[in-house]
Amino acid sequence: MHDLLLRHGTVHDGFGGPAREADVAIDDGRVTAVGRDLGAARQVIDVSGLVVAPGFVDPHSHSDTVPFLAEPQPFKLYQGVTTEIIGNCGFSCGPANPDTAGFMPAVLAGEAFTTFGAYLDAAQAAGPSNNLAVLVGHNTLRLAAGGMEAAPGPKALDRMCALAAESFAAGAAGLSSGLEYVPGAYADAAELVALALVARRWNLPYATHMRNESEGLADALDEAIAVATRAGVRLQVSHCKASGRAVHGSSAMLLAKLAAARRAGLDVRADVYPYRAFGTGLVAVLPPRACEGGEDALRARLADPAERAALRALAEDPATAIGVGLWRELHPADVQILTHTDPAVAGKRLADLPGDPWDALCDLLGADPHAAGVFHTMHDDDVTAIMADPLVSIGSDSGPPVGPNHPRTFGTFPTFLGTYVRERKVVPMAEAIRKVSSAVAAQFGLADRGWLGPGAVADVCVFDPAAIGHPGTYETPDTRPTGVRHVFLAGHQVIADGEFTGGRHGTVLRRGAP
């Protein structure tokens, strides 16, 4: 007798093949059969008219500190996400040097661990609500070894490589970089290759938030491909975009470069979120030079009119597209302030603030270097073209579900399946499910997840294809998505008839662990 039988569903295996009407049997946390007349079960759920798919795998998330929140957090389970890849954009919760951990993003700095393994242990002990596979971040390694120094020297690189090796041995799922953020922005390609070569010893991928996603997009993508090629590692290009009006239409170039690299033998994939606005810290708008030496040095520069003028000249230098921050790809009306210590400015656009927009930005960051924003910089044609490409999966780029937020935190996957698949038919449903399951799991070495068939871990999402969606907006992002009916983690039902069943039933997936 089976433990569980999902009866009469429309089953997708996650590999992009045609759906079939079938039952799914689950025993001891794994799928044991898919077909008809599978016998009796202790629990039977009728899923007639519903899609039965592998649990979705989010390749790009920032849920690193979510396990430490006081209550279980089902915000990804409501979307059908059973596994998240975290530690992205070059930042992970370890290995951290206590003397420099304060330079990490505020959301991570409070949960910084001296070793990567200690973080994995703590996250597992705290209890994740869904599964987490964790990358070790280049920025975090650099902070631990050399602080905020732009050129910390060869001994620091040796230390970074040693810390990376320790992290991979402890179970890290790969290496990430965030080259628009400091201190990673100070690194050259040789430093990235050296760290990627360490990852290669464990056959692990390199995921990169590239050095530029606007006017320097082509050169930044060439660099990412060159690093992965030289190191012989798989490449994941994070949150692909053509950001800023000057590069709208560049999706064709981006996708052509990915395809050419693939034909040349590089195992390269990418991800995208189904939104035309991104979210990040406002400090990323400034040239990285502004942050050399840390937060106090940043405040001092922003308080000095001559330094402000020099930073603006660098940001607007037409001869330089990479390493000058996001300023040139933005219009003041594009910048929506998300969080700031002054609640009066939260929610406003940079264009709404009095005075010159550059000075207003510098004033904002001088008062709160950790302020964050939403940046409306992308064109729908680029978003949909990237989304449709077979090398591109769907990732949320979302963080914890607390405070002011981006709708991608609560609705990335239902938005993709509802707005872009059902309504706009950007890709067929079978291909859409491949993009959110096996395409991601394969890239990050999750051999037993991301597909639905005998032997797979029973991470399963059951949804109503006619109802799935998300009504959230940039003004009200934290609304419950619709259409996800049942979700299982290793056969344990965590969403039943659209409601969270409670508890913390996820696990930290260490490299090599099923």
The secondary structure of 359-402 as a DSSP string is: HHHHHHHHH-TT-EEEEE---HHHHHHHHHSTTEEE---B--S-
Of the candidate CATH numbers 2.60.40.1510, 3.10.20.440, 2.30.40.10, 2.60.40.10, the domain formed by 2-54+455-500 belongs to 2.30.40.10
Q: How many CB atoms lie within 10 A of CB 214?
A: 22
- So where are the chain's domains? 2-54+455-500, 56-280+377-443, 295-373
Rounded to whole angstroms, how far apart are CA atoms 12 and 289?
Answer: 49
Tokens of 195: 């760290």
**Rounded to 5°, angle at Cα 129 from 31 and 269:** 70
Which residue reads 């039977």 in tokens? Answer: 44
Among residues 514, 420, 513, the alpha carbon closest in space to that of 470 is found at 420
Task: In whole angstroms, give the CA distance from residue 163 to residue 87.
Answer: 15
- What are phi and psi for residue 457, nearest 5 degrees? -60, 135
Q: For the sheet containing 206-209, what is the strand order?
A: 136-137, 175-178, 206-209, 235-237, 268-272, 392-394
CATH number for the segment(s) 56-280+377-443: 3.20.20.140
Q: Is 30 helix (H, G, I), strand (E, B) or coil?
A: strand
Structure tokens at 92: 């992970």
- pLDDT (average), residues 462-472: 98
Instruction: List the Cα angle 352/357/363 in 5-degree steps.
Output: 95
The whole-angstrom separation of Cα 501 and Cα 297 is 48
Q: Please report, in angstroms and rounded to a whole number, the separation of the first and last CA atoms in the chain.
A: 25
What is the average per-residue pLDDT within 136-142? Answer: 98
Name the amino acid, one letter, at 89: C
User: Measuring CA to CA, which residue among 18, 25, 8 is closest to residue 460?
Assistant: 25
Q: Is 447 helix (H, G, I), strand (E, B) or coil?
A: coil
CB atoms within 10 A of CB 31: 25
Cβ atoms of 108 and 88 within 8 Å: the answer is: no
Candidate from 7-11, 101-105, 454-458 with smallest mean pLDDT: 101-105
For 416-466, what is each residue's pLDDT tens digit? 999 999 999 999 999 999 999 999 999 999 999 999 999 999 999 999 999
Residues 146-196: tens digit of each pLDDT: 999 999 999 999 999 999 999 999 999 999 999 999 999 999 999 999 999
| Predicted pLDDT of residue 512 | 56
Q: How far apart are CA 333 and CA 310, in angstroms?
A: 23
Would you call 309 exposed, middle or buried from its count of C-beta atoms within 10 A (0-12, 13-18, 19+)? Answer: exposed
Indicate the pLDDT class of residue 54, thresholds 50, 70 and 90.
Answer: very high
Higher pLDDT, 25 or 106: 25
Shortest CA distance to 113 belongs to which of 128, 95, 135?
A: 95
- HSE-up (13 A, CA, CB side) for residue 166: 17
Q: Is 56-280+377-443 in the same CATH topology as 2-54+455-500?
A: no
Which element (helix H / strand E) includes 492? strand 492-496
Q: Which amino acid, one-letter code, is at 115?
A: T
| Band of residue 514 on the pLDDT scale cut at 50, 70, 90 | very low
As given in the structure block, the two tokens for residue 149 are 């120094």
Give the Cα separation of 48 and 38 in Å (integer).
Answer: 16
